Amino acid sequence: MGKSAAKRIVEYLWYLIPAAVAFLLYLILPHFSGITETMFTKGIFRIIGVPLGWLIQWLPFSLSEIIVLLLIPAVITFIVIFIRLIIKKRFSSVRNLSKAILLAVSCLLLMYMLMHGVNFYRKPAAELLGLDVHERSSEELAELTAYLAQNASSIRASLPENENGTAELTVSVSDILKSAGKGYTELDDQFSELWGAVTRTKPVQISHLWSYTGITGMYFPFLAEANVNIDQPVYCIPFTASHELAHTRGFAREDECNFFGFLASINNDSPDFQYSGYYLAYIDCFNALYSKDSDLAIKTARENVSEAMARDLNYQNEYWHQFDGPVQDVSNNANDKFIQYQGVEDGVQSYGRCIDLILAWYAETK
């Protein structure tokens, strides 16, 4: 190998340093949750992510959505330019463009790790909050299911309805997205770990198309921006907003964000948030109970779910059923693999593990 070839390889390796650092963090940090907690989540992430998220939240639109929409034409443009340079044999320009792309991707990988990836490896929420998480009986699960259904049904009675008899919000969707942080403010004294500066979430304008992926919300780590699907049933939007804000507070695991989304929703002074929190937690709890004891789950639902809440459940099922298909299957599989690669072995199934946290919380508060 000539000196010039060796020199070029070394040059390319320099551009891979950020990616190499990210990969080392990926390998090492899962074994050192204490260091991750203090140095990265409460250190680097808060220094970079919190101020960035606080600034971005004041934009009235989703910057993440714009970037994603521009990404496809940008990639196509780069490919066309790359091919034209090769055809014209402008190899020095090809090398320069390759270096620029390599450096950009490498830096993005490191930025992702520092802004989100490391938070998968922090101490578990149960440990941070001192919650006693352990296997619970079907009877305990049924008691929680009934509690959630009763609270949801009670609050549901105070909400307005549309012509189809399903729940409507008492305020606009815009106001809901702006006030998602109120529940976290109420939790600050009780759970200092939930401190954060981002209090607003963003509406995604192409939400109807987004529903084909089955996704209700997304945290965009490069901007620390929380995005919400606003086409889903409106009574699910408050909880989704609260869930996404949990990511801006340094929590990456989906089951933990579901738990914090539940707590923030029921501690918000808005009945929209309270209903959304109890309602969606009930669904997860019912599903968990049904997998253990289907007869007990059905009995619990019949005795505690109001007719109005049942209409909301039916409409939610109908809404998502219209988007069933290959796009949703691909999206779900991709999300499943992504979560597994972060060290969460059960992938998307981990969302349901929030019930373990809610059960532990319920045992302490009842």
Locus of tokens 């998602």: 180
Does residue 134 sit in the same domain as residue 104?
no
172-207 pLDDT tens trace: 999 999 999 999 999 988 888 898 999 999 999 999
**Element holding 328 (H helix, E strand):** helix 326-341
Does residue 181 sit in the same domain as residue 102?
no
**C-alpha span between 217 and 230 (Å, rounded):** 9
Does residue 215 sit in the same domain as residue 181?
yes
* Residue with more model confidence, 234 or 366: 234
Does residue 348 sit in the same domain as residue 228?
yes
**C-alpha span between 181 and 200 (Å, rounded):** 6
Residue range 128-147: average pLDDT? Answer: 93
- For residue 150, the tally of other CB atoms under 10 A from its CB is 16
Does residue 26 sit in the same domain as residue 172?
no
Q: How many Cα atoms within 13 Å fall on the side-chain side of residue 105? A: 9
Does residue 142 sit in the same domain as residue 76?
no
Residue 62 phi, psi (nearest 5): -85, 110
Could you tell me the residue range of the domain that residue 313 belongs to? 125-365
Q: Is the pTM of this model over 0.85?
A: yes
Does residue 44 sit in the same domain as residue 10?
yes
**C-alpha span between 32 and 27 (Å, rounded):** 10
82-105 pLDDT tens trace: 888 888 878 788 888 888 889 999
Q: Over the chain, what is the mean pLDDT?
A: 91
245-294 pLDDT tens trace: 999 999 999 999 999 999 999 999 999 999 999 999 999 999 999 989 99
4-42 pLDDT tens trace: 666 667 777 888 999 999 999 999 999 999 999 999 999
Does residue 149 sit in the same domain as residue 108?
no
Q: Confidence band (pLDDT; 50, 70, 90) for 352?
A: low
**C-alpha span between 252 and 33 (Å, rounded):** 13
Does residue 353 sit in the same domain as residue 339?
yes
When divided into structural domains, the chain yields a total of: 2
pLDDT given for residue 300 in this prediction: 96
Does residue 114 sit in the same domain as residue 132?
no
Does residue 188 sit in the same domain as residue 267?
yes
pLDDT given for residue 347 in this prediction: 43
Q: Of 232, 354, 363, which Cα lies nearest the Cα of 285?
A: 354
Whether the pLDDT of residue 2 is over 60: the answer is: no
Q: Rounded to a whole number, what is the largest CA-CA distance in the chain?
A: 79
